[in-house]
Amino acid sequence: MFGVEGEAGYLHITGSGADPRSPGLDVVSSSRLGDWYGVIAGRVGYAWDHWLLYAKGGAVITNVSGTIVDSCKALPCGPVTMNAVGSKDDVLSAAFGGGVEYAITNNWTVKAEYLYFTLNNHWLVTGVASNNATYSWDHNFSGLHTGKLGINYKF
């Protein structure tokens, strides 16, 4: 069996960390993935009785953004501060995985699925501090593992 499937959903993942080389750990970078995502993928599988075992592959699109804040709280930095925001809207990456689906009726099914979003994208957030020094920070998402349970209606 084979087919094409689309989905859209809510995804909000954030993280932050301090630069270990900054005095007082006062340079902090944060990243955000989401708030939305969309997947379009092909499915190929083997069906028997009411069961379908399938593999899935396609594309995922989502929003990513990042910030750098240098509050310059630790000496000997003086009055140097910076607040830079970078964004990479509509990042397109590969998605692949698989799952199992069970037909309750001719139209209703339930499924369990694993899907990996590669999201091997990185971008630089840059900004100019109050002392005219330029900072840049390399944000990198190395992928996202997802698992879900679902109820489907087939038209």
Backbone angles phi, psi at 101, to 5 degrees: -130, 140
C-alpha 100/C-alpha 93 separation (Å) is 24
pLDDT of residue 44: 98
* Banded model confidence at residue 139, pLDDT cuts 50, 70, 90: low
pTM across the whole model: 0.75
User: Residue for token digits 């592959």?
Assistant: 57
Q: What is the 3-state secondary structure (H, E, C) of the chain?
A: CEEEEEEEEEEEEEEEEECCCCHHHCEEEEEEEEEEEEEEEEEEEEEECCEEEEEEEEEEEEEEEEEEEECCCCCCCCCCCEEEEEEEEEEEEEEEEEEEEEECCCCEEEEEEEEEECCCEEEEEEEECCCCCEEEEEEEECCEEEEEEEEEECC
How would you list the strands of the sheet with 82-103, edge to edge? 2-18, 27-48, 51-70, 82-103, 108-117, 144-153
What are the extents of the domains in the chain? 1-50+65-89+126-138
Mean pLDDT of the chain: 83
* Banded model confidence at residue 98, pLDDT cuts 50, 70, 90: very high
Look at 31 and 150; give whichever has higher pLDDT: 150
pLDDT of residue 140: 64
Using an 8 Å Cβ cutoff, are 86 and 123 in contact?
yes
- Tell me the average pLDDT across 60-74: 78
User: Residue for token digits 């109820």?
Assistant: 151
- Tell me the average pLDDT across 91-117: 95
